[in-house]
């Protein structure tokens, strides 16, 4: 299952620069769990897991620019 950006913005893997990332490849996540943040014009949105499963790919860099509809995570459902 692909998790896509709902709009363009800057992607953050962690809540603060010092904090550990929300998720790493291989992590099991619950439905609705926060995977990262997307900042668009100073507004922060949580990127949440649409399903429960395992994070198999993270396709964006921390602080990287994300285009509208770009795939950010791939989650493998059981």
DSSP letter (8 states) at residue 34? E
* Minimum distance, C-beta of residue 28 to other proteins, in the bound complex (Å): 25
Q: Work out whether 18 is an interface residue with other proteins (CB under 8 A).
A: no
* Minimum distance, C-beta of residue 4 to other proteins, in the bound complex (Å): 14
* Minimum distance, C-beta of residue 37 to other proteins, in the bound complex (Å): 10
Comparing CA positions, the residue from 35, 36, 45, 33 lying closest to residue 7 is 45
Cα(6)–Cα(69) distance, integer angstroms: 6
Q: In the window 38-67, what residues touch other proteins (CB under 8 A)?
A: 39-46, 63, 65
19 token code pair? 């904090």
């Amino acid at each position: 299952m692909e998790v896509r950006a709902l709009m363009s913005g800057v992607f953050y893997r962690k809540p603060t620069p010092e904090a550990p990332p929300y998720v790493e490849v291989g992590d099991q996540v619950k439905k609705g769990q926060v995977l990262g943040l997307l900042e668009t014009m100073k507004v922060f949105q949580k990127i949440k897991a649409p399903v429960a499963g395992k994070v198999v790919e993270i396709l964006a860099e921390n602080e990287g620019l994300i285009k509208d509809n770009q795939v950010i995570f791939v989650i493998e459902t059981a």
